[in-house]
């Protein structure tokens, strides 16, 4: 008989809706697992009492409500970058080790409105900047497939939690690959939606438009159902994606036919040799898509190399905006201080010109890809690296360069605002997961999810279990 954590989030939600399982029972199950089994650096704060209160409220809600989410009562977790009223939120930084916000952001409020208990805050690197999760004062987030190797970042804690079965699915955020990178490292589905799909209320801290929240899950359908929970706009949002024709979950039941899928493997932001296993995953995915009746077209890299320095300028300024109180700045990581110094050296007009340049470069890429329904690339240039392979506090510039070499494709879709998804289609001979990435035109998550679900049905991965699953 399957254990509760063997079930998908939607399967758990169906049992709750049928009265065969309570949210309190399921929440206690995951709290127990998180307290006993978190040797993967998933959580920095557990909020057990709050989760139990939320679960009791979920069980007390009317079962017949037409607006009830299929994930009603299903436990989850919230990334430590997201404001959560009354719960310690450190932004992955020792400078905010004791910070407890008195307001929640739109993501936290959406999860609470869907009656999904949050059992805690998942680990993230300082201000979500690096593509590895090794925060000060906490153990590094590691992939459950090999606990000596990184979970990726910056949603590394969220990915480790889902992959280790500590929650069935979780929210992450992504400004340059921070959902898809850990999804690849941990063998998960990682969905970055279109720009404007999910509100960034109340901080609106990214004037460039790179970052968004999204889903980490073990199945495409779970990722789609969580997107249904998170999606929506506030009156004050600076941009928004048009509403879908139905639910994103329903889109998973509409397999597309005869799509034109562009593909390229040329690294975009760094000259790097792509690991043979990642090339194999990319070629295998191409053949699988062809077998499903889609047409694969090799295309040139759509984003100019001119985008790299422009992106770096914007990234440095965004890091500089993630400030700490002056009396606590000495607690910031060397990488954060180095990037912030770069950002502070950029004048206001220079930043404005960089934003304009990045939007023109995005426009060129979008026009080049407009004839295609989807785009296929590798997710990462290598399997998950060992903890510490990227981090170098003595040489932040070298650290940053190695991050670019590990992640030479993911940030392209943050620049263009396109939705993109990591699919865990490949494992190395040593049992390490390797993802491939599919992207679609802006606001076409429905098509992307239909394609991803079609791929999952043809080559399912849900029953794979890492060591220590239990």
Q: Phi/psi at 435 (nearest 5 deg)?
A: -95, 165
Is the predicted pLDDT of residue 354 greater than 70, yes or no? yes
As a whole number of angstroms, the distance between CA 268 and CA 409 comes to 6
Q: pLDDT per residue over 165-186, tens digit each?
A: 999 999 999 999 999 999 999 9
79 is catalytic: yes
Mean per-residue pLDDT of the chain: 97
Q: According to the model, what pLDDT value does residue 137 have?
A: 86
> Positive or negative CA dihedral for 202, 203, 206, 207?
positive
Helix axis angle for 307-321 and 348-369, nearest 10°, is 130
Using 50, 70 and 90 to split pLDDT, how confident is the model at 262? very high
User: CB atoms < 10 A from the CB of 147, how many?
Assistant: 18
Using 50, 70 and 90 to split pLDDT, how confident is the model at 244? very high
Using 50, 70 and 90 to split pLDDT, how confident is the model at 65? low
Q: According to the model, what pLDDT value does residue 67 have?
A: 79
As a whole number of angstroms, the distance between CA 179 and CA 183 comes to 6
As a whole number of angstroms, the distance between CA 217 and CA 240 comes to 24
Q: What percent of the chain has pLDDT over 90?
A: 96
As a whole number of angstroms, the distance between CA 111 and CA 171 comes to 9
Instruction: Report which of 106, 93, 133, 119 is spatially closest to residue 37, judged by C-alpha positions.
Output: 119
Using 50, 70 and 90 to split pLDDT, how confident is the model at 150? very high
Is the predicted pLDDT of residue 290 greater than 80, yes or no? yes
Residue bearing tokens 């502070």:
344
Q: According to the model, what pLDDT value does residue 62 have?
A: 78
> Are 133 and 117 within 8 A, CB to CB?
no
Partners of 118 in beta bridges: 76
- 322 vs 198 pLDDT, higher one: 198
As a whole number of angstroms, the distance between CA 461 and CA 393 comes to 37
Helices (H), 72-214: 106-113, 156-163, 180-186
Helix (H, G, I), strand (E, B), or coil: what is residue 282?
helix
Q: pLDDT per residue over 22-60, tens digit each?
A: 999 999 999 999 999 999 999 999 999 999 999 999 999
Q: Phi/psi at 403 (nearest 5 deg)?
A: -60, -45
154 is catalytic: yes
Given the residues 79, 121, 192, 404, the one annotated as active site:
79
Spell out the domain ranges in the chain: 4-458
Exposure class string for 157-194: b at 16+ Cβ within 10 A, else e:
bbbbbbbbbbbbbbbbbbbbbbbbbbbbbbbbbbbbbb
Helices (H), 236-330: 248-251, 276-291, 307-321
Q: pLDDT per residue over 88-109, tens digit each?
A: 999 999 999 999 999 999 999 9
Q: What percent of the chain has pLDDT over 70?
A: 99
Q: According to the model, what pLDDT value does residue 21 have?
A: 98
The pair of structure tokens assigned to 442 is 């802006």
Residue 452, CA distances (Å) to 31, 222, 243, 286, 457 in order = 31, 12, 20, 13, 9
The pair of structure tokens assigned to 377 is 């690339």
Q: pLDDT per residue over 293-325, tens digit each?
A: 999 999 999 999 999 999 999 999 999 998 898
Is the predicted pLDDT of residue 66 greater than 80, yes or no? no
DSSP 37-58: H--S--EEEE-HHHHHHHHHHH
Is the predicted pLDDT of residue 217 greater than 70, yes or no? yes
Given the residues 8, 173, 178, 213, the one annotated as active site:
178
Given the residues 118, 123, 154, 340, the one annotated as active site:
154
As a whole number of angstroms, the distance between CA 422 and CA 418 comes to 13
Q: According to the model, what pLDDT value does residue 73 have?
A: 98
Q: According to the model, what pLDDT value does residue 470 have?
A: 87
As a whole number of angstroms, the distance between CA 418 and CA 416 comes to 5
The pair of structure tokens assigned to 151 is 């979970």
What mean pLDDT do residues 218-231 have? 98
> Positive or negative CA dihedral for 87, 88, 92, 95?
positive
Using 50, 70 and 90 to split pLDDT, how confident is the model at 1? low
- The CATH classification of domain 4-458, taken from the options 3.90.1300.10, 1.20.58.390, 3.20.20.70, 3.10.129.10: 3.90.1300.10
Q: According to the model, what pLDDT value does residue 323 have?
A: 83
The pair of structure tokens assigned to 153 is 């970042």
404 is catalytic: no
Q: According to the model, what pLDDT value does residue 63 have?
A: 75
The pair of structure tokens assigned to 351 is 């930043």
């Amino acid at each position: 008989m399957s254990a509760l954590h063997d079930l998908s989030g939607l399967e758990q939600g169906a049992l709750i809706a049928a009265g065969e399982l309570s949210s309190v029972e399921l929440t206690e199950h995951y709290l127990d697992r998180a307290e006993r089994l978190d040797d993967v650096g998933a959580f920095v704060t557990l909020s057990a009492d709050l989760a139990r209160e939320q679960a009791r409220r979920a069980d007390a809600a009317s079962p017949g409500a037409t607006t009830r989410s299929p994930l009603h009562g299903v436990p989850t977790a919230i990334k430590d970058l997201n404001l959560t009223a009354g719960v310690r939120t450190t932004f992955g930084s020792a400078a905010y080790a004791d910070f407890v916000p008195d307001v929640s952001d739109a993501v936290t409020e959406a999860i609470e409105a869907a009656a999904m208990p949050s059992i805690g805050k998942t680990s993230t690197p300082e201000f979500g900047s690096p593509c590895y999760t090794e925060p000060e004062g906490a153990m590094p987030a590691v992939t459950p497939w090999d606990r000596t190797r990184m979970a990726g970042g910056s949603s590394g804690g969220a990915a480790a939690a889902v992959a280790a079965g500590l929650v069935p699915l979780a929210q992450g955020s992504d400004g340059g690959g921070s959902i898809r990178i850990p999804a690849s490292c941990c063998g998960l589905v990682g969905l970055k939606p279109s720009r404007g799909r999910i509100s960034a209320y109340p901080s609106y801290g990214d004037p460039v438009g790179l970052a968004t929240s999204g889903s980490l899950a073990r199945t495409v359908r779970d990722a789609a159902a969580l997107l249904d929970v998170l999606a929506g706009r506030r009156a004050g949002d600076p941009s928004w994606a048009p509403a879908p024709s139905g639910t994103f979950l329903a889109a998973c039941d509409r397999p597309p036919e005869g799509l034109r899928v562009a593909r390229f493997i040329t690294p975009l932001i760094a000259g790097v040799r792509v690991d043979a296993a990642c090339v194999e995953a990319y070629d295998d995915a191409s053949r699988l898509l062809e077998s499903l009746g889609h047409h694969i077209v090799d295309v040139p890299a759509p984003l100019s190399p001119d985008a790299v320095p422009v992106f770096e300028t914007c990234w440095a300024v965004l890091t500089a905006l993630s400030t700490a109180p002056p009396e606590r700045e000495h607690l910031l990581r060397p990488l954060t201080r180095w990037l912030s110094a770069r950002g502070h050296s950029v004048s206001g007009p220079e930043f404005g010109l960089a934003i304009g340049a990045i939007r023109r470069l995005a426009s060129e890429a979008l026009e080049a890809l407009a004839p295609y329904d989807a785009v296929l690339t590798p997710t990462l240039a290598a399997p998950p690296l060992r903890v510490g392979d990227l981090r170098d506090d003595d040489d932040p510039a070298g650290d940053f360069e190695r991050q670019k070499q590990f992640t030479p494709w993911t940030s392209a879709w943050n620049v263009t605002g396109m939705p993109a998804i990591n699919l865990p289609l490949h494992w190395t001979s040593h049992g390490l997961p390797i993802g491939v990435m599919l992207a679609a035109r802006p606001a076409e998550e429905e098509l992307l999810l239909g394609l991803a679900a079609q791929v999952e049905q043809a080559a399912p991965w849900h029953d794979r279990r890492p060591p220590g699953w239990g």
